[in-house]
């Protein structure tokens, strides 16, 4: 009998954890991981934080690959162009095809660019994004003391880079259409407090306004805002969110409206039915999570590739072994999204889904908003998220209370 083969598309954290998970679950066949970056899997969060303050090296950021995955075949610098879920093949950009018995989709997201006129969307023209190691190396080289940087977008990544750029002695302007930085995930009170802390460090915000044009021919020299303001810029960072890398799954009758819609076993849904032999992990997975009880959500947090990778590899290995698969796939699985962010000396830690909260049900739970504190995000009576500024032990102590009331009750009676 020929050995089974699993193809993992995407050599990031989700791809790595899925490969390790398959081995941990006893899958003995061939595992091939295809990644379009030249690098073995590495940690992305430091790219907008501490890694930007020194020389950026892959060795410092690379994940250690667990011993059980030492025989995984890494095909780095190669891209998957398309998949055919019926014939169970993927086609690479060089035109070659690979057949599979199991497929893991772990292709993450790409940075969005502003579709406006100006120099080409390249770091060499002063238009940076920050999604991968090469982006960070280019941005690091530009962050010299005295440089004028305009950060477009005031989400977490934009604000982290703004903070790091101030620490490195750059002049930083931050432009966003939102009324306050990070207001969408955090709500008004915390967003206003964080805005004040950034302003105290010298970041100048231009809020409630968009960008009309980048100035300069081959190289950005300035930014024109929709309120008429002109900002000098030696370079810009476009930190405007992301789009999912799912083009290679088009024409497969999957729901790709926001990532890949899956069932609770992380199998993609096709015409209302889960596709066997395929699982989706990490940033691109939009899955139902009974902890928050309604709908399916996609979450771009660091713990998601690990948690979904573990669930997906258990489901896929059971399918490939032909054992207890239906039972496992039908067992409800839940997870608690978490993220952290470092800005200056502030460590922000969160559990849950702040975006599910009722806007008027976001309250201080502990501490002092102007110092260290924990904020609670409620939907009706449910605590759907907590965010701490500092107070790590306290915010951690709320973990088990986060979720829908019915889910938490089922956990205590189980
Ligand atoms: C700068 C930055 C800072 C962050 N900071 C935080 C933080 O502080 N806290 C937090 O919780 N999360 C943070 N995150 C988010 C976290 O890093 C992601 O959620 C996580 O990396 C997602 O893992 P993934 O495996 O799903 O995708 P990725 O890590 O993006 O890996 C996907 C890989 O697939 C490759 N790929 C795409 N298409 C193809 C194709 N067709 N063929 C082959 N390969 C392909 C991609 O190039 C990439 O290498 C940050 C992310 C970034 C970029």
One DSSP character per residue, 266-324 reads: SPBEETTEEPTTEEE-GGGEEEE-TTT-SSEEE---THHHHHHHHHHHHHHHHHHHTSS
Of 106, 94, 79, 82, the closest CA to residue 16 belongs to: 106
Ligand 1 atom, smallest distance to 342 CA: 8
C-beta 337 within 6 A of ligand 1? no
pLDDT value, residue 69:
87
- Position 340 in a domain: no
Task: Look at residues 199, 223, 240 and tell me which one is the last residue of a structural domain.
Answer: 240
- Position 120 in a domain: yes
For residue 250, what is the enclosing H or E element? none
- Position 339 in a domain: no
Please tell me whether residues 229 and 317 are part of one structural domain. Answer: no
Residue 68 DSSP one-character state: G
- Position 184 in a domain: yes
* CA-closest residue to ligand 1 atom 14: 45
pLDDT value, residue 120:
87
Tokens 């667990």 found at: 66
Mutational test site, ligand 1, from 139, 238, 245, 343, max ligand atoms within 8 Å of CB:
245
Supply the CATH number for residue 392's domain: 3.30.390.30
Summarised one tens digit per residue, pLDDT across range 169-208 is: 999 999 999 999 999 999 999 999 999 999 999 999 999 9
The CA distance from 142 to 278, in Å, is 42
CB atoms < 10 A from the CB of 257, how many?
10
- Position 85 in a domain: yes
Please tell me whether residues 120 and 186 are part of one structural domain. Answer: yes
C-beta 305 within 6 A of ligand 1? yes
Task: Look at residues 330, 356, 380 and tell me which one is the last residue of a structural domain.
Answer: 330
C-beta 44 within 6 A of ligand 1? yes
The CA distance from 258 to 249, in Å, is 13
Summarised one tens digit per residue, pLDDT across range 41-99 is: 999 999 999 889 988 999 999 999 988 889 999 999 999 999 999 999 999 999 999 99
Mutational test site, ligand 1, from 34, 45, 237, max ligand atoms within 8 Å of CB:
45
pLDDT value, residue 413:
64
Centroid of ligand 1 to alpha carbon of 44 (angstroms): 7
Please tell me whether residues 292 and 260 are part of one structural domain. Answer: yes
Please tell me whether residues 104 and 251 are part of one structural domain. Answer: yes
- Position 338 in a domain: no
Query: What is the span of the domain harbouring residue 168?
Result: 113-240
Please tell me whether residues 124 and 234 are part of one structural domain. Answer: yes
Supply the CATH number for residue 94's domain: 3.50.50.60
Q: How confident is the model at residue 312 (pLDDT cuts 50, 70, 90)?
A: very high
Task: Look at residues 330, 365, 384 and tell me which one is the last residue of a structural domain.
Answer: 330
Q: Which of 113-122, 142-151, 164-173 has the lowest mean pLDDT?
A: 113-122
* CA-closest residue to ligand 1 atom 18: 302
Tokens 């066949």 found at: 29
Please tell me whether residues 155 and 171 are part of one structural domain. Answer: yes
Ligand 1 atom, smallest distance to 109 CA: 30
Please tell me whether residues 222 and 265 are part of one structural domain. Answer: no
Centroid of ligand 1 to alpha carbon of 246 (angstroms): 13
Please tell me whether residues 258 and 325 are part of one structural domain. Answer: yes
Please tell me whether residues 236 and 248 are part of one structural domain. Answer: no
pLDDT value, residue 337:
96
Burial of 47 (0-12, 13-18, 19+ CB in 10 A): buried
C-beta 79 within 6 A of ligand 1? yes
Please report, rounded to a whole number, the percentage of residues in the chain having pLDDT higher than 90.
89
Residues 6+ apart with CB under 8 A from 294: none
Q: What ranges in 13-154 are assigned the alpha helix state H?
A: 13-24, 58-61, 133-142
Centroid of ligand 1 to alpha carbon of 271 (angstroms): 28
Please report, rounded to a whole number, the percentage of residues in the chain having pLDDT higher than 70.
99
Tokens 């370079």 found at: 235
- Position 335 in a domain: no
pLDDT value at 1 more than 80: no
Mean pLDDT of 363-381: 97
The CA distance from 396 to 73, in Å, is 38
Number of structural domains (the chain) is 3
Please tell me whether residues 29 and 141 are part of one structural domain. Answer: no
Classify the phi-psi angles of 202: left when phi > 0, otherwise alpha if psi is within -120 to 50, otherwise beta: left
C-beta 36 within 6 A of ligand 1? yes
Contact 178, 184 (CB under 8 A): yes
- Position 131 in a domain: yes
pLDDT value, residue 67:
85
Centroid of ligand 1 to alpha carbon of 67 (angstroms): 23
Please tell me whether residues 138 and 179 are part of one structural domain. Answer: yes
Summarised one tens digit per residue, pLDDT across range 329-360 is: 888 899 999 999 999 999 999 999 999 999 99
pLDDT value, residue 294:
72
Summarised one tens digit per residue, pLDDT across range 122-138 is: 999 999 999 999 999 99
Please tell me whether residues 235 and 276 are part of one structural domain. Answer: no
C-beta 63 within 6 A of ligand 1? no
Q: How many helices (H) and strands (E) does the chain have?
A: 10, 28
Contact 327, 318 (CB under 8 A): no
Centroid of ligand 1 to alpha carbon of 310 (angstroms): 17
């Amino acid at each position: 009998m020929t050995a089974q083969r699993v193809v993992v598309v995407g050599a990031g954290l989700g791809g790595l954890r899925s490969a390790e998970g398959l081995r941990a679950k006893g899958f003995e066949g061939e595992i091939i991981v295809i990644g379009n970056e030249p690098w073995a899997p590495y940690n992305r969060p430091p790219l907008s934080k501490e890694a930007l303050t020194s020389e950026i090296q892959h060795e410092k950021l690379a994940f250690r690959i667990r011993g059980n995955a030492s025989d995984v075949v890494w095909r780095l610098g190669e891209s998957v162009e398309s998949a055919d879920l019926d014939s169970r093949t993927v086609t690479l950009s060089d035109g070659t095809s690979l057949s599979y018995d199991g497929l893991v989709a772990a292709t993450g997201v790409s940075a969005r660019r502003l579709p406006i006129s100006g120099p080409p969307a390249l770091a060499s023209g002063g238009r940076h994004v920050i999604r991968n190691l090469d982006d960070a190396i280019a941005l690091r080289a530009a962050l010299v003391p005295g440089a004028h940087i305009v950060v477009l977008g005031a989400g977490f990544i934009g604000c982290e880079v703004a903070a790091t750029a101030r620490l490195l002695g750059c002049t930083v302007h931050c432009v966003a259409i939102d009324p306050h930085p990070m207001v969408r995930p955090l709500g008004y009170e915390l967003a206003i407090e964080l805005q004040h802390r950034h302003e105290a460090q010298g970041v100048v915000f231009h809020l409630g306004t968009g960008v009309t044009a980048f100035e300069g021919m081959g190289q950005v020299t300035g930014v024109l805002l929709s309120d008429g303001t002109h900002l000098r810029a030696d370079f810009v960072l476009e930190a405007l969110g992301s789009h999912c890398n799912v083009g290679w799954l088009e024409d497969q009758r999957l729901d790709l409206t926001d990532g890949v819609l899956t069932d609770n076993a992380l199998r993609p849904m096709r015409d209302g039915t889960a596709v066997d032999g395929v699982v989706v992990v990490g940033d691109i997975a939009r899955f139902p999570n009974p902890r928050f009880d309604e709908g399916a959500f996609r979450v771009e947090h660091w713990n998601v590739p690990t948690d979904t990778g573990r669930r997906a590899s258990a489901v896929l290995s059971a399918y490939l072994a032909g054992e207890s698969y239906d039972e496992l796939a039908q067992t409800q699985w839940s997870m608690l999204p978490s993220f952290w962010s470092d800005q200056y000396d502030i460590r922000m830690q969160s559990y849950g889904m702040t975006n599910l909260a009722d806007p008027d049900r976001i309250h201080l739970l502990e501490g002092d908003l102007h110092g260290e504190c924990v904020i609670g995000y409620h939907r009706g009576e449910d605590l759907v998220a907590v965010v701490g500024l500092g107070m790590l032990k306290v915010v951690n102590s709320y973990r088990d209370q986060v979720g829908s009331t019915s889910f938490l009750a089922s956990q205590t009676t189980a």
